[in-house]
Structure 1
Amino acid sequence: MWRVLIVEDDPEMRSFFESCVARSPALALAGCVGTVAHARDCLARPGEGVDVLLTDLGLPDGSGLEVIRQARLTHPDCETLVISMFGDEDNVLASIEAGALGYIHKDAAPEDIAQTILEMKAGGSPISPMIARRVLTKYAARQAAVPPPAAAPPPVERPPLSRREQEVLGLIARGFSYQEIANLQGVSVHTVQAHIKSLYSKLAVHSKMEAVFEATRMGMLPRHD
């Protein structure tokens, strides 16, 4: 079972997250707190592992970024999912740099957050489509601002994606979840994860966001200005 630490200052939202975790046989609650200080205490408890950190960013006594960094130091295998009202590029990029693997806007939070956690533990990087678009736009702008090198390296030859991998990639770019893709394709979630793992390898990326950006750069997906 994956042990989940919930850090959320809104009592109603915290209760919702806690009930989602409690209903999943694959998850166990490691703690449910509302401040940075209490989160630090939970992460500092000897002998108690934390496999997943589910955290907000705007907390009464500080930023969830502090909690993410602490979790990364004390529990190196812990994976972080941010669920926040902050959807701007700076907060998203700061969370990713601190160690977060997923970022969901509260307005787009799924009905069952446990499924999103399990998708992340299976190798995914859940991110709200709205936020993904903003981050990709910001990242593209940053890349465009960087002066080109004196001598551009030769293009890297990438193995071609299979037809099914291309279909899955297109659905990822449109914001569909693993389960939704499996339903649309008429296959199991495990098969979808296998396709995603293969296309990640072929594109030399590690997350949905990177896959969409790289595929767009390579002309596999249409650009949206």
Structure 2
Amino acid sequence: MTLSDTAHKLFAGPCDFMLGVVKMEALPPSDLPEFAFAGRSNVGKSSLINALTGRNALARTSNTPGRTRELNFFNLGGVLRLVDLPGYGYARASRKDVNAWTGLTRDYLRGRPNLRRVHILIDSRHGLKPVDIETMSLLDESAVPYQIVLTKTDKIKPTEAEETRAKVAEMAKTHPAAHPEIHLTSSEKNYGIKELREEMTETAQS
């Protein structure tokens, strides 16, 4: 079976919401490879998870920034887990709550032994922002491998998307934990989803 066939079978198979975590002690056992999705609020994390798994409403999507307020775990066929992290940069909530989510996310990213890769989602229309670079630096310091995924590429011209990719790739070269390849995706048009599935499958198997 080819990598493409294996990835298609995995992501088309059972995928279930496990639990939402608000405290480190409530994390599930670290017995499966995990892939986390991070990014600014409203960057399209939930939409990307839905596109990867071929579902419409596995992960809740919202036009309200800061909707995800816990670490949401999804079990993909008992082979790996997807983790939807709270969006950073904005949330309609109290400073106390925002600080709690931020602290929980940082503790998870720093201390999860089975975390294979963090996907940092960047809106292709806006490129990297200071808060994104801050998150990248945190992962560099914690030696957590991560990869940048550009979202919403259907909203701009292909040449503009490639220009953004080139700029982001150049910046990523200065970050030791960053994967050199930058993915271009559109959850709405299903662009780049197949390639991301295949890379995640290969990484989980390695």
Would you tell me which structure has more strand in proportion to its own residues? 2
Would you tell me which structure has more helix in proportion to its own residues? 1
Do these two structures clear the TM 0.5 threshold for a shared fold by scoring above it? no
TM-score tier after normalising by the smaller chain length: 0.3 to 0.5
TM-score, L = length of structure 1? 0.41
